[in-house]
Amino acid sequence: MSARRQLSGTDSLFLSMENVDVHGHVGGLVVLDPSGSATFGFERFRRSVCTRLPNAGPEFTARVEEAPLGLARPHLVSDASFDVDRHVRRIALPAPGGRRELAEMVGFLFERKLDRSRPLWEMWFIEGLEKGRVAVFFKTHHALMDGMKGADLSVVLCDLEPEPAPALETSPEATVLGAPSGYQQALEGLGNLAALPARIAGYGMQALRRGAHLVPFVLNNGTAGMPAVAPRLDFNGRIGPGRNFAFTSIPLEDVKAIKDHLGVKVNDVIVALCGEAMVRWAERRGVRPDGSLAVSCPVSTRQATDAEAANKIANMIVSCATDVADPLERVREVHRRANQAKAMTSRLRAQPIDSLGDVLPPSIVHLGFRAAGEFAAWSGTVPANAVVSNVPGPPVPLYMAGARVCGIFPISILAPTQGLNFTAVSFTGRLDIGITADPQHLEDPWEMMACIDAAFEQMRNAYVEQTEASAPVLRRPLAQPESQPVRSIAAA
């Protein structure tokens, strides 16, 4: 079956945003315990990927075909020379590799850009971990899928049991993504140039209507939920090309117990934790942020029945309420301000506006991103201190090529002036958290991760003090990333 797929305006933005320092790919580190499988190994893993890849979608065997001079959005074109061995690689740490050694390797692999002459993904099978464990690091371009769709990929690559029954032999008709002719691309590019003034004018009118639609809301509710400028921290400068990484886990049941007690959302707890962690990190350097920190939160707009791989996301700036001292009251205040930010975002989205990727040719978008990043770094304007993302993951145990999945730790994009990213994935009773950072501003990400653990311990102790009079609770250490989930305060 032949088809043609042009990237959507939003997907195209993730390609256009890339430059020497800004990357457009995301990734995930999956830690595996193969002790229960006698047949687990690289060859079995490779065969599993080859077998399941057709079910993941045609984009995983397609390369990006960019238009001449970047005057039209790129197409995905089936790669006639696709070779899975160029994408599935094997590497080893000096045994026994611990968490820090593994994270250092992942950071090194992540900071390398994907080769646009090939399909925009790669997997690394990492051996040599302590306790006989293995890790799989998966990297894909954000232009191919958003976080929610990326989480769905685990359904394709993983099983619900170590040795599932053999799948029925099927030969689904492969979708071949064809390339537009040079004539068609040139014609589209010239059409985009001719329509550019009208599109810019139309976009300006849409923006004005949005602004007018928002004015009554701001007059009645204020803008406390969406601060215009955040206090600047050390990692809020011009970012470089390097990336480092750290990861940890906290009990999801504890997070849920706290959010139920306070009547808030899981994401409110995560935002409050990240805000407190950044404050602790700054205070270790003798700096107390003036005012509340803020974070940028990607929000999925994907419907439950939407299986399309294209990005379906919006963005929201949320106050971390770090100007509130009490840890539980801080979570409540994050919830209040987040609700206000959501209401404002909903008000904005009620007035449709085109994606910039649909209005401007990719080459102009690229220049615009570069100029905006340079201006933000020069001016010191910081709309948000970091990116915080929360992706619901599988709630059941998973196995990959026969090995038990012990953790799923995300690694994600850094934005100009936001050299820090916190991303959390819920998985079998835990919240797996990955930190991505720019090493020139945050040399040791494990220090920030320690601040996350300390902030959660403070929050949990405050919860215990409020509830121990009415219900017995269990005091115990935090879960380790490579361990089985431990009993939570909620289950005590």
SS3 content of the chain, % helix, strand, coil (to 5): 40, 20, 40
> How far apart are alpha carbons 269 and 363 in whole angstroms?
40
Backbone angles phi, psi at 78, to 5 degrees: -55, 135
Kind of pairing between the strands at 386-391 and 294-300: parallel
Contact yes or no for 409/432 (Cβ under 8 A): yes
Alpha-carbon torsion (253, 258, 260, 264), positive or negative = negative
Is the previous residue joined to 96 through a cis bond, with omega within 30 degrees of 0?
yes
Catalytic residue among 142, 335, 366, 441: 142
The tokens describing 75, both together, are: 């197409």
* DSSP 8-state secondary structure symbol assigned to residue 170: -
Instruction: Respond yes or no: is residue 25 known to be catalytic.
Output: no
Residue 325, C-beta contacts closer than 8 angstroms, at least 6 positions apart: none
Report CA Rg, the chain. Answer: 23
Distances (CA, A) of 359 to 71, 144, 191, 373, 416: 11, 20, 12, 20, 22
Q: To which residue do tokens 């919830």 refer?
A: 335
Residue with tokens 């890790």: 135
Q: Report, as residue numbers or ranges, the catalytic residues.
A: 142
